């Protein structure tokens, strides 16, 4: 029996029992649809988080002071004062894998405009900060080198601060606000950036020259951190190694001493978060896979019923020349067709489900080609695996007994 | 006419039921020639069904030889037997055994699906010819449940013809039919026999057996009597004399 004939016979047998064929497929349809939808939702949220992290900055490399311990007591990372502006200078001069370096000095406090006030963080940075953090000036301008050198009392506001002090959509450039009782001139407003991947408001900030924040607001001689950009994503690991090497040297650390600073890169952060979402995705997919397995067992169940019910048909087919293997192939073909057809419908249904879930969760659900291909392979295997035993039962029937079966 | 289609020599068939051995056939010798129309008779338990299973290559004898169309069946394995049945034999059953929800044409095509040498167009043409031969070409798209019993048996006969077999085996072909329809089926068999088909059928009705050219009666696993039918009935003539009842028609 050639395969076209086999296919025709199987299709005809299925068409004779349309409703039952559909109900059998339903298990596979639901199974495949849930796997596809779950993987799509997982992939969607992964890409969303990825997007948020990469919007935090351009191939960012962050240097923070390491938590120091004295007598076993942690002093907290902000308590350490190991990072100096000179470190920024060394990195600028020596690191080849870094394209931009900016110090970061933090101060938090009350900000007042006429009768409005708000609590926010003031970041003291240099001009490179804009590029490193992917920030854009919406109106006005950023401060320049002279203003850094002069410790000018100028500042740039984030959108949340603008909203809190002046109302949404206002343009306060040229006005003056008081930060910790010092008057600052607003020279620019940042474009809004939204929430970060961790749910942080990235617009609740004020930027000012680091010299101004260091001396006038925080009154310290160290800096809280260094933000830099690696020249490319691939160069991130090189950049980290360079930073470590340079800072260990400038900090005059002994061979045996631990780093008194921590270097992290955006790429690393991305990897960590991605691996977490991957685990989530596989977990969801595995749970959905169980329903696919149940669907497969459903196919086996129905194929068994079908073999028993069609015993006389099998007897007839054998008497007119069907060999055991022909009968076996027919029933296998039926179960494979059922599971593959179920797979196709399941993929379509799963795609719709993913779109629906995506629109409800405000993140896109992304159906990857791999998961579709995987679904089909799994369906084929299910068809063969769960069709095998019933098909063998059919093939081993004795034609004489089968013909007499009532 | 002297070409023998079936040659059986001292054939025995034993069944083992638990520890008891049942001797279903106890030494049968039988020869059937090409173009013969043979009725096998006998009470139930006489061995005629076992004989038919062996004739149909569905079962193998315990001892003895069975040559069908010159080939010894004993030496073949199950797959070879299936191929052999597909090429050499046509089956007609008491309960028709048509596939439900399948058109007459598709039912008739079925044996050719198991012959890899038959192409799809050939298959359809052969099936149409077979349906024409049984006078049902106008019913080819009907499902079995849209056909009367007689029509269903005709479809089954068409199915047994479609592979152009050397032998048609019928197991109580009129068992489920009323008298008139039975005669119509026998008329069809006589027609086919006149055209040279070799037909063997099993029946327990003596009047149905009289349409054949030869009767073989089984008893206790042996041939009790073998005789040529002296006053052979002609189904066409009888049907002419029968009152025409309201013929059931399904459309």
- A58-117: pLDDT as tens digits: 789 999 887 665 556 665 544 568 899 999 999 999 999 999 999 999 998 899 998 899
- Shortest Cα distance, chain B CAs vs residue A393, angstroms: 16
Q: What is the pLDDT of residues B89-127, one digit of tens each?
A: 999 999 999 998 899 999 999 999 999 888 889 999 999
The rounded mean pLDDT for chain B is: 91
pLDDT average, residue stretch B74-100: 93
When CB atoms are compared, the residue of B56, B99, B114 closest to A322 is B114
pLDDT in the model for residue A196: 67
Closest CA to A406 of A302, A304, A315: A315
CB contact under 8 A, B83 and A399: no
- The alpha carbons of chain B give a radius of gyration, in whole angstroms, of 18
Q: What is the pLDDT of residues B184-224, one digit of tens each?
A: 999 999 999 999 999 999 998 999 999 999 999 999 999 99
What proportion of chain B, given as a percentage, has pLDDT over 70?
96
Q: Which pLDDT band holds residue A223 (cuts at 50, 70, 90)?
A: very high
Which residues make Cβ contacts (< 8 Å) with residue A252, sequence separation at least 6? Answer: none
Q: Which of A16-20, A192-196, B74-78 has the lowest mean pLDDT?
A: A192-196
Q: What is the pLDDT of residues A38-67, one digit of tens each?
A: 888 888 888 888 888 877 887 899 998 876
pLDDT in the model for residue A74: 61
ipTM: 0.92
Closest CA to B224 of B7, B48, B90, B34: B48
**What is the chain A residue with the closest CA to B168?**
A320
Best mutation target among A309, A311, A313, A319 (most B Cβ atoms within 10 Å) is: A319
Is the sign of the CA dihedral B58, B61, B62, B66 positive or negative?
Answer: negative
Q: Which pLDDT band holds residue B251 (cuts at 50, 70, 90)?
A: very low
pLDDT in the model for residue A289: 85
**What is the chain A residue with the closest CA to B49?**
A400
**What is the chain B residue with the closest CA to A324?**
B79
pLDDT of B146 above 90: yes
pLDDT average, residue stretch A19-30: 90
Q: What three-state secondary structure class fits A205?
A: strand
Best mutation target among A315, A316, A401 (most B Cβ atoms within 10 Å) is: A316
Sheet holding B89-92, edge to edge: B89-92, B167-171, B199-202, B37-42, B214-219, B222-228
Q: Which pLDDT band holds residue B226 (cuts at 50, 70, 90)?
A: very high
pLDDT of B166 above 90: yes
Q: Which pLDDT band holds residue A280 (cuts at 50, 70, 90)?
A: confident
pLDDT of B250 above 90: no
pLDDT of A174 above 70: yes
pLDDT of B1 above 70: no
pLDDT in the model for residue A78: 46
pLDDT in the model for residue B54: 94
pLDDT in the model for residue B228: 92
Q: In the structure encoding, which two tokens stand for residue A188, read together? A: 């620019």
pLDDT in the model for residue B247: 54
pLDDT in the model for residue A336: 92
pLDDT in the model for residue A368: 85
When CB atoms are compared, the residue of A16, A315, A320 closest to B86 is A320
When CB atoms are compared, the residue of B87, B116, B159 closest to A1 is B116
CB contact under 8 A, A326 and B111: no
Spatial distance between the Cα atoms of B112 and B246, rounded to a whole number of angstroms: 36
Place of tokens 């006149």: B194
Phi, psi angles (nearest 5°) of residue A137? -85, 120
Q: Which ranges of B61-200 does DSSP label H, i.e. alpha helix? A: 78-88, 104-113, 120-133, 149-161, 179-194
pLDDT in the model for residue A257: 80
pLDDT in the model for residue B200: 96
Contacts of B83 in chain A (CB under 8 A): 321, 323
Spatial distance between the Cα atoms of A227 and A62, rounded to a whole number of angstroms: 5
Spatial distance between the Cα atoms of B110 and B126, rounded to a whole number of angstroms: 11
pLDDT in the model for residue B246: 53
Q: What is the pLDDT of residues A322-341, one digit of tens each?
A: 999 999 999 999 999 999 99
pLDDT of B248 above 70: no
Q: Which residues of A touch B (CB under 8 A)?
A: 1-2, 4-5, 8-9, 12, 16, 312-313, 315-326, 399-400, 403
CB contact under 8 A, A317 and B114: yes
- Shortest Cα distance, chain B CAs vs residue A27, angstroms: 25
Contacts of A313 in chain B (CB under 8 A): 97, 99
CB contact under 8 A, A321 and B56: no
pLDDT of A320 above 90: yes
pLDDT average, residue stretch A259-274: 86
CB contact under 8 A, A321 and B115: yes
CB contact under 8 A, A322 and B97: no
User: How many A/B residue pairs have CB atoms within 8 Å?
Assistant: 69
CB contact under 8 A, B99 and A313: yes
């Amino acid at each position: 029996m050639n395969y076209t004939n086999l296919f025709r016979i199987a299709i005809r047998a299925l068409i004779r029992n349309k409703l039952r064929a559909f109900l059998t497929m339903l298990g596979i349809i639901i199974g495949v649809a849930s796997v596809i939808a779950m993987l799509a939702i997982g992939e969607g949220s992964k890409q969303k988080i990825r997007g948020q992290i990469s919007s935090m900055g351009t191939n960012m490399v962050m240097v923070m002071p390491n938590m120091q311990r004295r007598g076993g007591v942690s002093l907290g990372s902000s308590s350490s004062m190991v990072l100096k502006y000179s470190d920024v200078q060394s990195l600028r001069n020596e690191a080849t894998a870094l394209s931009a370096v900016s110090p970061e000095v933090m101060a938090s406090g009350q900000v007042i405009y006429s009768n409005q006030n708000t609590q926010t963080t003031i970041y003291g940075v240099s001009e490179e900060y804009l590029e490193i953090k992917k920030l854009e000036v919406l109106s006005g301008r950023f401060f320049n080198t002279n203003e850094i050198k002069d410790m000018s009392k100028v500042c740039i506001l984030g959108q949340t601060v603008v909203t809190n002090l002046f109302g949404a959509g206002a343009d306060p450039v040229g006005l003056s606000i008081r930060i910790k009782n010092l008057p600052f001139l607003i020279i620019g407003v940042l474009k809004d950036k939204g929430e970060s991947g961790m749910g942080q408001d990235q617009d609740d900030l004020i930027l000012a020259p680091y010299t101004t924040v260091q001396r006038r607001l925080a009154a310290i001689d160290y800096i809280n951190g260094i933000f830099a950009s690696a020249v490319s994503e691939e160069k991130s690991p090189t950049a980290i190694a360079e930073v470590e090497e340079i800072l260990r040297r400038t900090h005059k650390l002994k061979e045996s001493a631990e780093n008194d600073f921590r270097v992290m890169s955006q790429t690393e952060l991305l990897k960590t978060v991605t691996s977490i979402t991957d685990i989530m995705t596989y977990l969801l997919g595995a749970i959905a896979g169980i329903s696919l397995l149940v669907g497969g067992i459903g196919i086996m169940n129905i194929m068994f019923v079908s073999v028993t019910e069609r015993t006389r048909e099998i007897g007839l087919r054998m008497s007119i020349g069907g060999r055991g293997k022909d009968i076996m192939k027919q029933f296998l073909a039926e179960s494979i067709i059922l599971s593959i057809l179920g797979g196709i419908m399941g993929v379509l249904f799963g795609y719709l489900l993913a779109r629906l879930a995506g629109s409800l969760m405000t993140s896109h659900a992304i159906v990857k080609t791999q998961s579709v291909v995987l679904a089909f392979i799994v369906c084929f295997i299910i068809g063969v695996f769960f069709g095998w035993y019933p098909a063998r039962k059919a093939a081993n029937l004795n034609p004489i007994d089968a013909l007499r079966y009532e | 006419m002297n070409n023998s289609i079936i040659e059986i020599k001292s054939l025995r068939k034993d069944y083992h039921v638990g520890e008891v051995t049942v001797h279903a056939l106890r030494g049968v010798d039988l020869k059937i020639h090409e173009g013969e129309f043979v009725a096998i008779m006998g009470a139930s338990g006489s061995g005629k069904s076992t004989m038919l299973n062996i004739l149909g290559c569905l079962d193998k004898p315990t001892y003895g030889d069975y040559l069908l169309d010159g080939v010894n069946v004993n030496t073949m394995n199950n797959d070879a037997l299936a191929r052999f049945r597909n090429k050499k034999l046509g089956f007609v059953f008491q309960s028709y055994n048509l596939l439900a929800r399948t058109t007459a044409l598709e039912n008739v095509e079925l044996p050719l699906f198991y012959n890899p040498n038959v192409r799809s167009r050939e298959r359809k043409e052969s099936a149409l010819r077979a349906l024409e031969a049984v006078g049902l070409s106008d019913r080819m798209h009907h499902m079995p449940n849209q056909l009367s019993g007689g029509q269903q048996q005709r479809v089954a006969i068409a199915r047994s013809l479609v592979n152009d077999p050397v032998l048609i085996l019928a197991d109580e072909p009129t068992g489920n039919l009323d008298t008139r329809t039975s005669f119509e089926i026998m008329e069809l068999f006589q027609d086919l026999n006149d055209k040279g088909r070799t037909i063997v059928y099993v029946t327990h009705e003596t009047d149905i057996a009289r349409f054949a050219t030869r009767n073989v009666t089984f008893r206790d696993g042996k041939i009790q009597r073998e005789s040529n039918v002296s006053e052979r009935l002609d189904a066409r003539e009888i049907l002419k004399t029968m009152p025409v009842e309201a013929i059931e028609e399904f459309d």
